[in-house]
Structure 1
Amino acid sequence: MEKTARTQHSQETPIYCNDIFKASPEPGCEEKDQIKTVLTKGIAGIGKTISVQKFILDWAEGKANQDVDFMFVLPFRELNLIRDHQYSLHRLLLDFHPELQDLDSKIYEENKVVLIFDGLDENRMTLMFSDAQKVTDVTETSSVGVLMSNLMTGDLLPSALIWITSRPAAANQIPSEYINRLTEIQGFNEPQKEEYFRKRISDEHQASRIISHIRRARSLHIMCHIPVFCWISSTVLQKLLKEDLSAEIPQTLTEMYIHFLLIQINMRNQKYEERDPEKLLQSNREVIVKLAEVAFKQLMKGNVMFYEEDLKESGIDVTDAAVHSGICTEIFKEESLIHQRKVYSFIHLSVQEFLAAFYVFYSHVIKNKEPLHEFRYYILNQASLDDLLRSAVDEALWCKNGQLDLFLRFLLGISLESNQRLLQDLLTHTESSSESIRKTTQYIKGKIKDKLNRYHLSADTSMNLFLCLLEMKDQTLSRDIQEFVKSDKHSEEKLSPAQCSTISYMIQMSEEVLDELNPTKYNTSDEGKRRLIPAVINCRKALLTGCNITGQDCEIMTSALQSSNCVLRELDLSNNDLQDSGVKLLTDVLKSPNCQLQILRLSGCVMTEEGCGYVSSALSSNPSRLREIDLSNNVLQDSGVKIISDGLTSPNCQLHILRLSGCMMTEKGCGFVSSVLISNPSHLRELDLSNNDLQDLGVKIISNGLISPNCQLHILRLSGCMMTEEGCGYMSSALSSNPSHLRELDLSNNDLQDSGVKIISEGLKSPNCQLQKLRLSGCMVTEEGCGFVSSALSSNPSHLKELDLSYNHPGDSGVKLLSDRYSNACDLTLDPNTANTRLILSEKNRKITCVFQHQPYPDHPERFDEVPQVLCGESLTGRCYWEAEWSRGAEISVTYKGISRKGGSDCWFGYNDKSWSLECSNNSFSVRHNKNSTDIPVISSSSKRVGVYVDVSAGTLSFYSVSDTHTLTHLHTFNTTFTEPLYAGFRVYYYKSSVSLCDIKQPPVRNNSDTHTTR
């Protein structure tokens, strides 16, 4: 049984049947201490009534809930029989339990009582919760429906505990405010499915063959979480294989149920005294058709339980011996209820749906139009089969709660000529259907593929339509989807949400594990991307960055991660609005023994100190399989870092990589991180603290941790941490310590200058230093600093293999250090189709100028209609550098292509989450993203040339002022995770404002005697 809070989205947590009234022990749970009313939902045949019986039996045998004095079971199927009668609650309970006739009405207040209402979906009474008559006394008389309503609202017998069971479609009859706990019985999981077949089938080889076959047949496999379907499948498959080991095994749901029906008919024939084959056939047909008529009529009314009057409506005499023959006892059952009344039902709802579908097809074959009036677009004068099938598709789509989903699959399946032949003894004749099947499959595919989503198909409806195609043995869509998922054409075709649901289902059911799921590569809406999420259960890596996932959507992933057959090892949820509530759901499931996740990225997920507590708890759980976690770009602050560090020092924690870039951490937080580095054992191998205000004192604290003999850190990133020459001394000391395990160090975008680089270079010369990669990009290094590094490189031994000195101030002899800048230079041109009509393009589409008069550009969906902006035509990939020159005020920007083109300020670069911009004016610079602006102090240079550097994989975007001597001055760096293709863009403010793309030419290669370099 699975528990979820009705009033909030939370993780599904297993709960024992006997514990449903016990308060949840989890901290932060919003459920009240007293669980008064529990609603348990589950599809037909999943085990709701069995759970009720087990609950009562364990209590009666003294195994559980011994604080309860009385349990009363009130099935709705029995309450229906007295719905027009007047009762007091006391009298009603005595009628249901005559052995308690001497019971005093005061016992209800003096003892603990549990009332169980089984089968809300079978209810035929009106339950009223807003305007209901108030009944507060157990001896007060009213209608049964009013009594039930007052018990559920707590007005009557408020001390009693209430348990209600229901099918999902009927569960909303009771307002959520009257439910304290919602549970769901989800049936067999994967291991339990296999366990069932192995226990039921004694022949081990036969059991393995049956299990393997069901796994391959998707429409069969999906039904096997229902115990009764496993029974039907084992009955059919054992019978077929017993008669013929080479027998063709049913491939579809319809074939399985047809064989089940034929087996029951054969059993009846063996028992029946009639020996005339023709009379026997006629008798079989009459019985089945009458039962099928009941099935159809009651299905359309939403009834799963029937009474004698319902059977008489279809011409069934309940005293007829034929009704009590073998065929009926296996598919139709009778129960005695209160007042000796009887109630009837099929052994499972799916049997009723199958027979209902048979009745509709049978009526079509014999030209009986009356039952087919249910299908509003069925053309009676020209009653073709494809009219019927398409009308049934539409009826199922209009039907609420998927009530006709399985019925539709059976009807389409029965229409196949091969299945008609199996049923030929029950049908008066068969009908050629290949053309009707072809038209119907095209009709269904059209609804799934509808790019405008005019049908507003839910995920469940989309999957059912896909299963309808499988039922008609149409594999073309399945093959198309498999090829599409494996291809590189995800962005070429616009996908509807319905198509995404189908793709997701296909991935889930595939025997082949998908290496990577990345919804951002699919050309679809946010809703379409969300519908792809359930597929994570059958993927090794899920990259869900920037998919507009919220904390509520996390339920889908937690359910997958808890599954025993989940193969997911890497999950990236960066740049989604998960908040702390979503983080709690995810980290709680990390404690599950089934969860095998090793890499979790939560960068930019609106997480705070509260979320750190949940992460820390997961890190210290046993076992903790997490090896990498990214919490960058969240407002954790020092208090949150402390909580994370506490989890890292747990002996259960095995984390190797921790990223805390841009978390508003200071030197105080460095103390907590340093304690992790010196802990024993310390498993941490990579640490990213970039873009935090650590300053030199924080660097000193971290360096002290590096010197510890317990520290095993290999990679440390301190880019943009406000470090100066002083901090270089502490880091140099760490590099020369014994032992020093550090292999990679990033000090980029700090004001180290030549003096700081000199100190770092001294550490590099130490025989203890093992550093292989050093990044000093944007550290104000000049020719002098290059000399210090050069000296370190020539020392013996020097392990350094990679050195980054890009975006500094080298002099003439340091010209080679500019190589990155030139090698990453990209050649851009402006895209005329995006230019606003107040912009003139010139110089071979490399310059824009703002004018008053609108230009006669043709209409184009990519054009900015109000804002004087333009995009470049080339996508930015890998590392890119370009320069632009501006006049009279402009914005130099980088944006996703998906930025809006219609409207005003929402389209402006920097005023949304799709773009980043540098605003240039004569007196100042400022940067902006998602309406958040940061002013940049005025620099002395009067240059109006700007350099832009993007490293897409690293998620960095840097702006530089370029002087007349081509010296770069760092202005600002954005750190993020880019989730879509990037494009350069420009906006101008005033009349005759302009922006020009600059040529960047590779300087000539000079030898050591050159003293001057130009370009």
Structure 2
Amino acid sequence: MEMPLSQLKILDLSYNPLTDAGVENIFQALLSKKCELETLRLCACHITKTSCVTLAKVLQQSSLRELDLSGNLLGDEGVKLVCTGLMSPHCRLNTLGLKDCKLYKGSCEALAPVLWSFSELKDLDLSNNDLPNAGLRRLSVGLRNPSCSLRVLRMSGCQITERGCALLASALIRNPHHLEELDLSYNHPEESGIQLLSARLEDPHCHLQKLNIEHVGERHLKWGFKKYAVDLKFDWSDGVDLSQDRKKATRRNMEMFYSPFDSGDDDMSILPKSNLQNSQVEVQCFPSLSGERFYWEVDWTGMVFIGMRQRLGFNSFEKYYLACSRDQLIAFHNNRVSTKSVSHLKKPNPDPQRIGVYLDWPAGILSFYSVSSGERTFLHTFHTTFSAPVVPFFSFAKPHPYDGIGSVTLRTF
């Protein structure tokens, strides 16, 4: 980026395990006067608050106009450091993405003075962070200030209630001339909150043009991705034993396997051992998923494939899945290793290992996470377009002395 001939304007390094050490080199290049980069996307790059010290300097000196840090564990401390850069009169940033960055009310407190200052910030995405009313109360102080020129605010999946909607509506009354788009989907505004904001949408003196309040309800007040939890159960499948509640599936380990369609008489057909013992067996879940966001977690043992498929035709499917073994995790699309495989990760902890799966069907996003002590660590994301309902599925490799017999257990939140 320091090369005069480069003239690079946009750089997207999202979904790569750069870590703090890797992005430090990028930030140092951005501090060069020769660098003319305007857009930098670093989604899910394993960045923490450590990188935010240098980033604050970058925001004060660089030509950056758009920055996306979504999916990194910045926390409130990281955002406070970023805000020191945003407050600089030399900062030119107008678009900031902080979706799913483990932010709480402390981040809102740090962002409020940025909004009421003469910041150039026009587009702010805080979606998928737990920012209940206490956080929104602090943020609204900045929003209602006439100096705030923010045009787009996304707070989808942020635990906002009727009280939060009242704070936002009040801010729009005090400062009606700038905010044009407000996304509050996947929250719990209740009917009274919806009415308060709808009134601002209909107010001819208010510039609000787009209000997203889809997929709302009390279940979205849960913390983290649990607000998108779906209750999956296993469907019946050859070669798999299911628990009574259909929450656990174990690959059957038998010398011989009898077909479920045999008559029980002397003409009983027996499938050869190789049909079960030496091949993959698969089990799918119900219900099928479409139209909104979903999240589930699964504990696994052995060697299993955790994924999702959608039907494309009569006998045609598109599959996205994660191959899990004691040695590695690898992402696949239609039996081909993804261009961004996750085999670089450290070996999983001893079985059982827990995997979290997040599906944003309208956005075409399917993400996998490693889950330990309730904390998610990003593994891999697929970007696609879903045109039909998708079905979660699990496959079990043939038993191996090293990995053992495969099993999966769907967690209940």
What TM bracket, shorter-length normalisation? 0.5 to 0.7
Aligned with 1:740: secondary structure? coil
Matches within 5 A, 1:489-638: 590-638=1-49
| 1:978 aligns with one of 351, 369, 382 | 382
Deviation at 1:977, TM superposition (A): 4.0
- Contact 2:201 2:210 (C-alpha < 8 Å) held by counterparts: no
Distance across 2 between alignment mates of 1:851 and 1:606: 33
* 1:689 shift after superposition: 1.4
Out of 891, 894, 909, the position equivalent to 2:308 is: 894
Cα contact 2:127–2:157 (8 A) shared by 1: yes
Larger radius of gyration: 1
> Aligned pair count?
328
- Alpha-carbon distance in 2 for matches of 1:613, 1:973: 21
The CA deviation at 1:696 is 0.7
| 1:393-472 correspondence to structure 2 within 5 Å | none
Residue pairs, 1:60-79, within 5 angstroms: none
Post-superposition offset of 1:810: 7.7
1:749 and 2:157 are equivalent in the alignment:
yes
Q: 1:725 Cα deviation (Å)?
A: 0.5
The one-letter amino acid paired with 2:117 is S
- Kindly state the Cα deviation for residue 786 of structure 1 after the two structures are TM-superposed: 1.9
CA distance in 1, matches of 2:186, 2:281: 34
Q: CA deviation at 1:973?
A: 12
Rounded to whole Å, the distance in 1 between the matches of 2:102 and 2:294 is 29
Give the match for residue 113 of structure 2.
Answer: 704
Relative distance call for 1:659 and 1:807 in structure 2 (3 A) is same
Letter in 2 for 1:703: A
Instruction: Classify 1:893/1:778 alpha carbon distance in 2 versus 1 (closer, same or farther; 3 Å).
Output: farther
One-letter amino acid matched to 2:85: V
Residues 649 and 682 of structure 1 are in contact (CA less than 8 Å); yes or no, is this contact kept in structure 2? yes
Give the drift of 1:955.
Answer: 6.2
Tell me, in whole angstroms, the C-alpha distance in 1 between the residues paired with 2:368 and 2:279: 27
Between the aligned partners of 1:623 and 1:994, the Cα distance in structure 2 is 54
* Partner Cα distance (1:632, 1:785) in 2: 32
What residue is the counterpart of 1:789 in the other structure? 197
Q: What's 2:180 paired with? A: 772
More helix by share: 1
Instruction: Say if 2:62 is the partner of 1:673.
Output: no
Aligned to 1:581: none
The secondary structure found in structure 1 opposite 2:208 is coil
Tell me how far apart the structure 2 counterparts of residues 697 and 632 of structure 1 sit (CA, whole Å): 21
Give 1:238-257 correspondences, 5 Å limit: none
Partner of 1:647: 58
**Equivalent pair of 1:735/1:769 in contact (CA under 8 Å):** no
Q: How does 1:718-737 map to 2 (within 5 A)?
A: 718-737=126-145
Contact 1:949 / 1:957 at 8 angstroms: preserved in 2?
no
Letter in 2 for 1:894: M
CA drift at 1:728: 1.0
- 1:773 Cα deviation from its structure 2 partner: 1.6
Rounded Cα–Cα distance in structure 1 between residues aligned with 2:114 and 2:83:
5
Cα displacement (A) at 1:712: 0.9
Deviation sequence 1:850-886 (CA, Å, 0-9, x none): 996554899xxxxx933443499x9x9xx744999xx
Cα shift readout 1:943-969 (whole Å, capped 9, x = no counterpart): xxx9964244566799xxxxxxxxxxx
1:609: how far off?
2.5
Output the CA distance in 2 between the equivalents of 1:759 and 1:670.
Answer: 22
CA deviations 1:511-538 (Å, max 9, x no partner) are: xxxxxxxxxxxxxxxxxxxxxxxxxxxx
Mapped contact 1:850–1:988 kept (Cα < 8 A)? no
Letter in 1 for 2:208: L
| Partner SS for 2:137 | helix
The answer to whether 1:695 aligns with 2:117 is no
Q: Does the C-alpha gap of structure 1 residues 792 and 882 become closer, same or farther in structure 2, counting only changes over 3 Å?
A: closer
| CA distance in structure 2 between the aligned counterparts of 1:733 and 1:980, rounded to whole angstroms | 39
Q: What is the CA-CA distance between 1:632 and the residue it aligns to? A: 2.2
Given that residues 707 and 738 in structure 1 are in contact (C-alpha distance below 8 angstroms), is that contact kept between their aligned partners in structure 2?
yes
Aligned partner of residue 978 in structure 1, secondary structure: strand
Which secondary structure state, in structure 2, belongs to the residue aligned with residue 700 of structure 1?
Answer: helix
Amino acid at match of 2:57: D
Q: Secondary structure at the match of 2:85?
A: helix
1:869 counterpart residue number? 283
Q: Tell whether the 8 Å contact from 1:761 to 1:789 is kept in structure 2 after alignment.
A: yes
Question: Residues 837 and 854 of structure 1 are in contact (CA less than 8 Å); yes or no, is this contact kept in structure 2?
Answer: no
1:769 CA drift (Å): 4.3
Contact map agreement 2:53 2:81 (CA 8 A) in 1: yes
What letter corresponds to residue 613 of structure 1 in structure 2? E
CA distance in 2 between partners of 1:741 and 1:977 (Å): 33
Q: How far 1:591 sits from its partner (Å)?
A: 0.2
CA offsets, 1:412-448, max 9 Å, x none? xxxxxxxxxxxxxxxxxxxxxxxxxxxxxxxxxxxxx
Q: TM-score scaled to structure 2, two decimals?
A: 0.63
TM-score (norm 1): 0.28
Write the distance in 2 (CA, Å) between the matches of 1:640 and 1:692. Answer: 14
Q: CA RMSD in A?
A: 5.0
Structure 2 contact 201–211 (Cα < 8 Å) conserved: no
Structure 1 pair 685/994, CA: closer, same or farther in 2 (3 Å)?
closer
User: Does the C-alpha gap of structure 1 residues 789 and 854 become closer, same or farther in structure 2, counting only changes over 3 Å?
Assistant: farther
Give, in angstroms, the shift of residue 667 of structure 1: 2.2
The whole-number CA distance in structure 2 between the counterparts of 1:957 and 1:629 is 23
Report the Cα offset of residue 620 of structure 1: 1.8
* Cα distance in 1, alignment partners of residues 291 and 83 from structure 2: 36
**Maintained 8 Å contact 2:322/2:329:** no
User: d(CA) in 2 for partners of 1:638 and 1:777?
Assistant: 28
| Structure 2 counterpart of 1:355 | none
Bigger fraction of residues in strand: 2
Name the amino acid aligned to 2:70: S
Alignment partners' CA distance in 2, 1:645 and 1:730: 22
2: CA distance, partners of 1:986 / 1:947:
14
Q: Secondary structure of the residue that 1:765 maps to in structure 2?
A: helix
Do 1:792 and 1:798's aligned partners in 2 also have CA atoms closer than 8 Å?
Answer: yes
- TM-aligned CA distance change 1:655 to 1:593, over 3 Å: same
Kept after mapping to 2: 8 A contact 1:739/1:768: no
Contact 2:251–2:281, Cα closer than 8 Å, also in 1: no
- Cα–Cα, structure 1 residues 661 and 900, in superposed 2: closer, same or farther, change >3 Å? closer
Which residue identity is paired with 1:742? L
Check whether the contact 2:186–2:215 (CA below 8 A) recurs between aligned residues: yes
Unaligned runs of 5+ in 1: 1-589, 812-820, 822-829, 841-848, 859-863, 916-929, 937-945, 959-971, 996-1015
1:666: how far off? Answer: 2.3
Partner amino acid for 2:5? N
Counterpart position of 2:313: none
Q: Give the aligned partner of residue 762 of structure 1.
A: 170
CA–CA separation in structure 2 for the residues paired with 1:883 and 1:674? 32
Distance change (3 Å), C-alpha of 1:647 and 1:663: same
Structure with the larger RCO, 1 or 2 (CA within 8 Å, 6+ apart)? 2
**How big is each residue's C-alpha offset from its partner over 1:229-266, in whole Å with a ceiling of 9 and x where there is no partner?**
xxxxxxxxxxxxxxxxxxxxxxxxxxxxxxxxxxxxxx
Paired position in structure 2 for 1:660: 69
Query: What's the counterpart of residue 238 of structure 2?
Result: 837
The letter for the 2-side match of 1:623 is: K
**Secondary structure in 1 aligned to 2:124?**
strand
> In structure 2, the residue corresponding to 1:774 is in which secondary structure?
strand
| TM superposition shift of 1:800 | 2.2
Q: 1:883 to 1:607 in 2, by over 3 A?
A: closer
Using the alignment, how far apart are the partners of 1:737 and 1:751 within structure 2? Answer: 24
Distance 1:957 1:748, change over 3 A: farther
Task: Encode CA deviations 1:804-828: one digit per residue, 9 max, x unaligned.
Answer: 22332189xxxxxxxxx9xxxxxxx
> What is the correspondence of 1:199-348 to structure 2 with a 5 Å cutoff?
none
- 1:894 match: secondary structure: strand
